[in-house]
Amino acid sequence: MSLKRIYDLSRRLHRTLTCLWTRDIYYVTDEVNWSFYWDGYYITTGLNERWKLRAHVIHDPWGLKRQIIHFGDRYAYLNGPFRDLHPSNQVFLTWFHGDPIDPNPNMQHLFEILPEATHYIEKIVVTCHISKEILVELGIPETKIVVIPLGVDLSKFLPLMVESRLKVRASLGIPDDVICIGSFQKDGAGWEEGMEPKLVKGPDIFLEVVANLYTHFKNLLILLTGPARGYVKQQLEKMGIPYIHHYLSNYHDIVPYYQALDLYIISSRSEGGPKALLESWATGVPVVSTRVGMPADLIEHGKNGMLAELEDVKDLANHSIALIEDDGLQERCRRQALDDVKHYDWSLIADRYYQELYKPFL
């Protein structure tokens, strides 16, 4: 009998027996306290409050037995001793984005090991249909894949009236008469200055777009948050385009930064989210994006945002100009986005995790 067959039989036996135990849900993140942590925080909070479950965010799940373990950080799972997790656990994995042809050795390793690891996993969660299609092409069974988008905290991310918005801009040192464009992501390699660009996030594309916009609007100001933004800042300085950058240690401190914006640009080559789409929508900020991740699923071009193809600097710039100059287009996109984002509050997304993933095992 093969080792895989023995493992499968063992899991069936443990699954039958574990219905006798009450199970907790453990959402596993890295220890950096970056984006993965907040996904876990909102999912577990929603499960605890809405369904009265016992759900926790942890970093070290390897000794658990007879529990539900969800790896929100695929690196923690696929680079960890996943074969040694006790077979009485039910394991779930979130896979955000990636491309098998990406030359990055870390990404290559993830794609190489995922087909084997899938045998140990109940379901793989992806946040968009592009990621699902990539995994199906890799040979992952479609029945193993569940599409659940990211969420946004609609109690904190709120639009402002004009007077309040001007006060927020003043508090951040942003003049009333500038066109303020946002980029709130980590787009440099590593966690230091980030002088080496993380090209999958499209910082080079973003810079080309804002350079184009600067020929039209001399009152342009770029608002940056996030770590490792050294490459973008260096290039903006070379082009003479003014910017403000603040690294925010508390995630919720980012809300007024959105509220100060006139436009948000997503220039990535690959994404699972980004959260910036929903956060911009919730704060009433128009979005121009490449056709990646959740924007490809959720943006209806010209209705709640604007879409361009990957690396299409010309269209990204033209769509940005249209949203800046056409008040009617801007207001239509803003209003529709504010209505659409109501479906993505984290409490609703946590409900989907319960109904579509965990419920059969509790």
Q: How large is the average pLDDT for residues 42-56?
A: 97
Closest to 267 measured CA to CA, from 150, 184, 331: 184
Q: Where are the beta strands (DSSP E) in 5-101?
A: 25-28, 55-58, 68-71, 90-95
Domain ranges of the chain: 3-151+346-361, 162-343
**Helices (runs of H) and strands (runs of E) counted in the chain:** 14, 12
Written as six digits, the tokens of 34 are 């970056």
State the residue for tokens 């905290």. 153
Res 8: pLDDT: 63
**Strands (E) located in 272-337:** 287-290, 306-308
When computed from its CA atoms, the radius of gyration of the chain, rounded to whole angstroms, is 22
Half-sphere exposure of 39 (CA within 13 A, CB side): 26
Q: Let me know if the fold of 3-151+346-361 is the same as that of 162-343.
A: yes
CA distances 6 to 1, 12, 13, 14, 202, Å, are 7, 10, 11, 12, 46
Token pair 């699972």 is at which residue? 272
225: nearest Cα among 158, 156, 279: 279
At residue 115, the pLDDT reads: 95
Joined together, the tokens standing for residue 115 give 């087909």
C-alpha 283/C-alpha 63 separation (Å) is 42
Contacts (Cβ under 8 Å, ≥6 apart) of 356: 146, 148
C-beta of residue 144 within 8 angstroms of C-beta of residue 105:
no
Which residue carries 């020929």 as its tokens?
215
Task: Give the mean pLDDT of 38-66.
Answer: 96
Local structure of 228: helix, strand or coil: coil
Retrieve residue 301's tokens: 């071009």
Using CA atoms, how far apart are residues 257 and 250, in angstroms rounded to an integer?
A: 13
What's the average model confidence in pLDDT over 43-65? 96
- Could you report the per-residue pLDDT of 289-310, keeping only the tens digit for each? 999 999 999 999 999 999 999 9
* Per-residue confidence (pLDDT) for residue 22, from 0 to 100: 77
3-151+346-361 has which CATH code? 3.40.50.2000
CB atoms within 10 A of CB 288: 29
Q: Average pLDDT, stretch 327-332?
A: 97
Distance (Å, rounded) from C-alpha 258 to C-alpha 156? 11
Could you give the CA distance from residue 140 to residue 279 in angstroms, rounded to a whole number?
Answer: 31
Provide, rounded to the nearest whole percent, the portion of the chain with pLDDT above 90.
86
Task: Give residues with Cβ within 8 angstroms of 12, minimum separation 6.
Answer: none
Sheet containing 25-28: order of strands: 55-58, 25-28, 68-71, 90-95, 123-126, 145-147
pLDDT higher than threshold 80 for residue 274: yes
Which residue's structure tokens are 């361009």? 308
- What pLDDT score was predicted for residue 35? 82
pTM above 0.85, yes or no: yes
Per-residue CA distances from 358 to 67, 100, 152, 253, 288 (Å):
11, 29, 21, 32, 35
Closest by CA position to 118, among listed 106, 130, 126: 126
Please check whether residue 263 is in contact with residue 285, taking contact to mean a CB–CB distance below 8 angstroms. Answer: yes
Taking 90 as the threshold, does the pLDDT of residue 256 lie above it? Answer: yes
- Cα–Cα distance measured from residue 36 to residue 45, given in angstroms and rounded to the nearest whole number: 14
Backbone dihedral region of 276: left (phi > 0), alpha (psi from -120 to 50 degrees) or beta? alpha
Distance CA 226, CA 201 (A): 13
- Residue at 331: amino acid letter: E
Q: 107-151: per-residue pLDDT in tens?
A: 899 999 999 999 999 999 999 999 999 999 999 999 999 999 999
CATH architecture for the domain at 162-343 = 3-Layer(aba) Sandwich (3.40)
The pLDDT assigned to 101 comes to 78
Residue 31 has pLDDT above 80, yes or no: no
pLDDT value of position 4 = 58
Which pLDDT value is given to residue 306? 98
